[in-house]
Amino acid sequence: MAFDIDRYTETSVQVNWEDLDFDEFRTNPLPESTLRSLRYMCDIEYHTVCYLRDMLMTPSHEDRDVTAFMTMWNREEFWHGEALAAVLKAHDITVDFDQLKATRLKLGWKDHLDPIKQSVLGNLVGNDFIAVHMSWGAANEWSATAAYTRLAEMEQHPVLATLLRRIAKQETRHVAFYASQARTRLEASKGARRLTRFALKSFWGPVGSGVMPEAEVTHVMSHLFSGEDGLAEVRRIDGHIAKLPGMQGLTIIETALRARGIAAA
């Protein structure tokens, strides 16, 4: 079924957490490993605007549906960051925007060059680049949805689990858009299929791996996806990606975990 972009833009809202009793975190605080993962997730949600910046330098910005979606997507992801920051604040962890800015500044020339590279590559490739963008976005959003859902199941904290499931519900709509767009564009172009497969196989990394320290990437992926249950979830995500036209046999999530020594045997 085609994604209804008009309905999405009309119904897009910020994730709600004001009805949740955050005092529960005082009597039932989260463990350090979970707080560390939540801080990572929070930082990456706030960095969404950088991904939006880069993508708007490519042919994607010329597509009405893509532009409409990304405007609302960026807004929703910002509020995901705000919600996670509120959880961290309840544990006396302050998310400082100066620190977020410092993280970006540490990227140095990479941060300045990324939009330029995206623009040059996108304009050289043309509209087939949008298929790469949509497929890459689908892989990221499948990963994000799984991460939030899995952390909710692992912790079983009454407040955190409710909040994370609300965030995951919004992420599923992001998945629906990206995957719908990817399928349509990949089916229409052999060149798009070849380019997308090459890009995912050669360059994809866990969400945030281009921004956060590798130690933090490894912690989050190990925390959420280690062991047999984690590997099963990883293979489920890879299964979704492999069903996209031309992506059969790709195992980019499992490959990324095994490269970090995380996935079970």
Q: What is the pLDDT of residue 79?
A: 96
Instruction: Give the separation between CA 123 and CA 7, rounded to whole angstroms.
Output: 30
Structural domains of the chain in order of their starting residue, each with its CATH number: 28-259 (1.10.620.20)
Instruction: Give the separation between CA 75 and CA 69, rounded to whole angstroms.
Output: 10
Q: What is the pLDDT of residue 126?
A: 65
Q: How does pLDDT run across 168-203, given as a tens digit for each residue?
A: 999 999 999 999 999 999 999 999 999 999 999 999
Sign of CA dihedral 233, 24, 82, 221: negative
Instruction: Give the separation between CA 29 and CA 26, rounded to whole angstroms.
Output: 6
Ranges of the chain with pLDDT below 70: 1, 53, 57, 97-126, 263-265
Instruction: Give the separation between CA 125 and CA 99, rounded to whole angstroms.
Output: 36
143-166 as b/e: b if 16+ CB within 10 A: bbbbbbbbbbebbebebbbebbeb
Q: How far is CA 57 from CA 113, 196, 239, in A?
A: 12, 18, 30
